[in-house]
Amino acid sequence: MTAQADNGVPEIPARLVDAIVFLRGEEEGRTWLAELPGRILDHARRWGLSLGRIADGGAMSCCVLCVTGDGTESVLKIPLSAEAGRQEARLLRLWGASDAVPAVLRDVPETGVFLMSRIVPGTTAWARSGPADSCRFGELLSRLETAEPAGPAWLQDLREVAELRMGWARDRFSEPRYADDPRYAGHIASIADAERVLAVLLETTRERHVLHADLQAKNILCGPEGRWFAIDPMGAVGDLNAEAALWAAVQDGPA
């Protein structure tokens, strides 16, 4: 849905509405959504933005495509969590010289809302070209290298991200549609096996790098001249191979 309401605010996509209500619950989610148009309009006026459509497919934030007064294509991001928004803006600034992420143009640390440059054309970098896409991914990783490899103190350790992902997996396969289906009978045991392997990897790895920590295809956009750019970082410090492992595990491609 791309229509605009009478106040000029783009209509909120149904998919985003469903995601917010699912994550925050009916009462809190509906309250956040009811306040959203006013917040969008307030920031548009404050920063002189011409509003376009709201990006479809978000779940943890509302991203509004817009144009600044000087013609810069940008994205206004209003996160569900103020802390998550602050963290993302700090990470993007950390990589500011890398030419591998959007640039933060404006932000409000108190609310986590920020304005960033838009990656154009911005299509998702689904991995469909086999080794060629893996090379593009490696080139993106190289650009994301920072001058501060150990990372700032406010970044979480990779262990925390691994535990979070394992928790998501356990929750998923505990749902009745999986738990009651014989085809998934071994999945919980597989998660336990993966946790044992992870424990060894995390204990024996000494390399420390600033990581995106969620660098899979859905968080990589195609930019000018086919170069890839990273968005929506979780942020962590750990072994760089973890980024490549996630890419290999979840990529939507033939190889």
Confidence of residue 147 (pLDDT cuts 50, 70, 90): low
Indicate if the pLDDT at residue 71 is higher than 50.
yes
Two structure tokens written together for 58: 């978000």
In SS3 terms, the chain reads as CCCECCCCCECCCHHHHHHHHHHHCHHHHHHHHHHHHHHHHHHHHHHCCEEEEECCCCCCEEEEEEECCCCCEEEEEEECCHHHHHHHHHHHHHCCCCCCCCCEEEEECCCCEEEEECCCCCEECCCCCCHHHHHHHHHHHHHCCCCCCCCCCCCCEHHHHHHHHHHHHHHHHHCHHHHCCHHHCCHHHHHHHHHHHHHHHHHHCCCCEEECCCCCHHHEEECHHHCEEECCCCCEEECCHHHHHHHHHHCCCCC
> Does pLDDT of 118 surpass 90?
yes
Kindly report, residue by residue over 199-251, the tens digit of the pLDDT: 999 889 888 889 999 998 889 999 999 999 999 999 999 998 899 888 888 76
**How many Cβ atoms are within 10 Å of 128's Cβ, its own excluded?**
13
4-55 pLDDT per residue, tens: 544 678 999 999 999 899 888 899 999 999 999 999 999 999 999 999 999 9
* Between 7 and 185, residue with greater pLDDT: 185
Buried b (16+ CB within 10 A) or exposed e, 198-226: beebbeeeeeebbbbbbbbbebbbbbeee
Residue 4 has a pLDDT of: 53
Residue 30 confidence (pLDDT): 95
Look at 14-18, 54-58, 189-193, 249-253 and tell me which has the smallest mean pLDDT.
249-253
> What is the per-residue pLDDT for 255?
43
pLDDT at 2 over 60: no
Q: pLDDT over 90 for what percent of the chain?
A: 58
Whether 241 and 233 have beta carbons less than 8 Å apart is answered as: no
What average pLDDT does the structure give for the chain?
89
Q: Residue 254 pLDDT > 50, yes or no?
A: no
C-alpha distances in angstroms, 29 versus 63, 93, 104?
16, 30, 27
Residue 167 has pLDDT above 50, yes or no: yes
Sheet order of strands, 104-108 included: 50-54, 61-67, 73-79, 113-117, 104-108
Specify whether the CB–CB gap between 222 and 228 falls below 8 A. Answer: yes
- Tell me the average pLDDT across 55-73: 92
Alpha-carbon 198 to chain mean position: 23
Q: What is the pLDDT of residue 252?
A: 55
Cα 102 from Cα 117, distance rounded (Å): 5
Q: What's this model's pTM, rounded to 2 decimal places? A: 0.87
- What are the pLDDT digits (tens) for 86-114? 999 999 999 988 899 999 999 999 999 99
